[in-house]
Structure formats: structure tokens, C-alpha cells
A = this chain, B = another copy of it.
Amino acid sequence: MNQAYWDRLGGRAKAAAAVLAQARAQKNAALLAMADALLAAQADILAANAQDVQAAAAAGTSQAMLDRLTLTPARIASMADGLRQVAALPDPVGEVIGGSTRPNGLRILQVRVPLGVLGIIYEARPNVTSDAAGLCLKSGNAVLLRSGKEAILSNRACVAALRAGLAVAGLPEDAVQLVDRTDREAVLEMMQQRRWIDVLIPRGGAGLIRSVTENARIPVLETGVGNCHIYVDAGADVQMAAAITVNAKASRPSVCNAAETLLIHAAAAPTALPVIADALLAAGVQLRCCPRAAALLPGRPVLAATQQDWETEFLDYIMAVRVVDDIEQALAHIARYGTGHSECIVTDSQAAADRFTAAVDAAAVYVNASTRFTDGGEFGMGAEIGISTQKLHARGPMGLRELTCGKYIISGNGQVR
């Protein structure tokens, strides 16, 4: 463990956090200056990114990953726009969450304050660098950013620009620091820095989440894994069911709020399943079916579902399909395989909708709408740092408020107990 490295970064972050906690208008000035600085540094950022992309391509990185890594003038402009949008959001810090005057005259206020220093561990998308820096700054938190090594040169260039913007506005540059170590040990070491990092936010796949769960000694806000289901109830509108299922599966299969399994009531299946399945197949989705579902889809190119298919977040044009006896069997399936992210029922029955929303234990439970709406922007938060699938502190999309905590301020005139 290179503790001296973390003491240096952490000490600077804590000092910056103490300044940010008291800053108000300067934070917005800094966000606008950071946006300007990103645009001004466009040539440097693109040159650094070209080196990253070249190295990643030479290392045999997949095309999908290269796409996420690659920056363009339009993407840099979009990063700058994101910072300006965050500047326009209300400041969560200082909001009075609650309060009372007690019988003894004590006045109790609960006010929203920053968490302190956030640690963000993410992969090779440089736009996360500016998004996360902007949200952390607006919520009054200093941030340590640890990205995938594939994006290290791009992120150095981006962070240099972001820090220049902070300096323009008179805020400490150390409000945004890059963990400039690409070794894997750096991530494990970072997860131990309880003294310096108040909350850790991993943004990545199941492997990263598992590693954080096993190794972190810091409170964590988990994001990301979504094994989401669409349950089509008896009597559901077939066209609505098909539209919602296709949207939830195929509008953007690589994201966590995409659906992975279709459950359909046995009474609805004979008429509805062929319609829904044909719509999915037309959208290029491969279907992995239980025997009852397959029997209802003669002549279609469907595969047999395996046990593992029910457990898998495909993140691809693949959907598992199961016919269930009734809503209770659907609920049991979701309780067993769901990851507590987003679950949907399509139904025309108020009783079924009530049963489903009450019984499903997930961050977001939908009646007659696509799971793809689980998103900070769609929920009206303005922006999001990720989608929490844990129950503590934040559940569902996490915006600026979720990057703060409460502090009780109690005023008296000599009260004792």
C-alpha cells in the first residue's frame, strides 16, 4: 500500500472540501468556467484521446469499448453543455429538510450539507469525468476520480481543464483530482481510504460492484446491475405490452434499466405472446424461451432458455421469456432473480397493479410504462451520478440531493437535560 500517495491526495481533497462546503455562487461560476476550459482545451484533449484510442485498438479492445472511449468535438461540446446544465440546477446545500421547536425551547433545524470527499471508480468513458466532477462540485463535495487505464491520457487532459476552470472561479483546484495511477492495486488501495474518502461510488459492471462489496472499508453507493423484468398480466392490452417490451429491451440494450426477461401470464400468452415475440424478433432480439413459451411460438427462431438465462443481465439484444401461471408466480420469479432495479407490470387490472407495486422489492416499480424511464433526467432530477440498487441512503436515480446528507443544528439559550 502506497499510503503516502493517498495521504497526499486525501489531505488536499479534505482541505478543498472544507472550502466547497461554504461556497455558493462561486460553484456556478466554476462550472461555467470549467465548461469554457474544456472547449478551450479541445485540441489537447482530442490529441490525448487519439493516443488512448490508438493504444486501446492496438491492445485489441472491442469496437463497442472504443466507441465509448472516443471523443469528438461534438462530445466535448456535450460535456461542456452538461456542466452548464448542472450550473443551472438549484443548489442542494443549505436546504432545510426539517425542523421543530421543542417544548423546552430548543430550536432544531435539519439542513442539507455535502458528504465531504467522494471517490468515483469508473471505466473508460471520458464524459463521466466531467459529469461526475460537475455534480460533485455543485453538491459541495470534493472528488477523487479513478477511471479505467484506457482513458488515462484523455482524463489527464480533461481534469487539467476542469481544474483550470476551478482556479478561474477562485475555488481550490483540488476539488477535482485524478487518481493518476493505472495499476489495479490503486483501486483496492482507494477502497481502504476511510480517513480521506467519505463515500465511494463505483460505476461499472457486476465485477467492479462485487470487488467493492468485498473490499471496501468505506460506505458505498452501489450503482448499476439491473436484471429487470416485464410482466404481462392476463387481460393486458397486447399492443401496449408489445410496445413497452420492445422499448424496454431494444431501445438501448446496454444500459442497466433495459429489461432482460419477459414474464407472461398463461391466460394472456396464447394470443399476446406471438404478437410481442414477433415485435421483438423484428427489432433484432434473440428470444430464449421456457418450454411453454416456445410451444406458443411455432416457426419462430427461438432458443431454449437455460437456468443461467434467468440470472443474466444480457446487456444485449437477447431476452429470456417465461410463461407463468399467475401474478404470484411472476412475483416469485422477480423476487428470486431480480436485482432490485426496475420492474414493470403491464395490466388493465387495478388489483393486479396494486399487488405488483406493493410486493415487488425494487428501486422503481412500473405500471404500464417502460423500465427505461429509471433515469435522473426522466425523473426530473436534472442530472444523475448513477442509479442506486441498494436501499441505504439512496434508491433509484441519484441526483444532487443524493450526494448530500443532513446535519442537525440546535439553538438554545442554556438548556440542559
Contact = CB atoms under 8 A, between A and B. Distances in A.
Contacts of A213: 194, 217
A380 interface: yes
Nearest to A239: B414
A417 B373 contact: yes
A221 B415 CA distance: 29
A378 B408 contact: no
Contacts of A393: 392-393
A226 to B, nearest CB: 14
A56 interface: no
* Chain A binding surface SS class: mixed
A411 B410 CA distance: 40
Interface in A372-417: 372-374, 378-380, 390-393, 395-396, 405-417
Nearest to A415: B369
B247 A417 contact: yes
Interface in A356-371: 357-359, 361-370
B214 A217 contact: yes
Interface of A: 18, 21-22, 100, 102, 106, 108, 113, 115-116, 194, 198-199, 213-214, 217, 219-221, 237, 240, 243-244, 246-248, 251, 353, 357-359, 361-370, 372-374, 378-380, 390-393, 395-396, 405-417
22 contacts: A22-B359, A106-B378, A115-B391, A115-B392, A213-B217, A219-B392, A240-B413, A240-B414, A243-B414, A248-B416, A251-B417, A357-B409, A367-B410, A368-B411, A369-B414, A369-B415, A370-B415, A372-B416, A373-B415, A392-B392, A395-B407, A395-B408
